[in-house]
Amino acid sequence: MTNRRDYTLEERTEIVKEHLETEKSIGELAAEHNLGYHLVYDWVKKCKAKGVSGLEDWRGQRRVTQEPQTPEEKLRVRIAQLERENYLLKMERDLLKK
């Protein structure tokens, strides 16, 4: 079993900010903070794609309770809700026809 450590949002944000502001390489930061290269790389990638909200840790939480992080994600959730509602209404209509 590995020794896994959970990093706070503040720790992740500081490390990514350090990479972006000081132009330190990901490898240098990983060695400096005693982290894996791919861990830091993933944090930087997520931060560039979604901003600081991309660094939040959602493990162990249900997807339904999560807030959408981007406008596109919010629209995808709304479309899925409307498609589900449409499906249920069609089922109800078909049932009432019989």
Tens-place pLDDT, residues 32-88:
988 899 999 999 998 888 888 788 876 765 566 666 667 887 888 899 999 999 999
Tell whether the model's pLDDT for residue 20 goes beyond 90.
no
Tell whether the model's pLDDT for residue 90 goes beyond 80.
yes
Weakest-pLDDT range from 5-9, 10-14, 67-71: 67-71
Three-state SS letters, the chain: CCCCCCCCHHHHHHHHHHHHHHCCCHHHHHHHCCCCHHHHHHHHHHHHHHHHHHHCCCCCCCHHHCCCCCHHHHHHHHHHHHHHHHHHHHHHHHHHHC
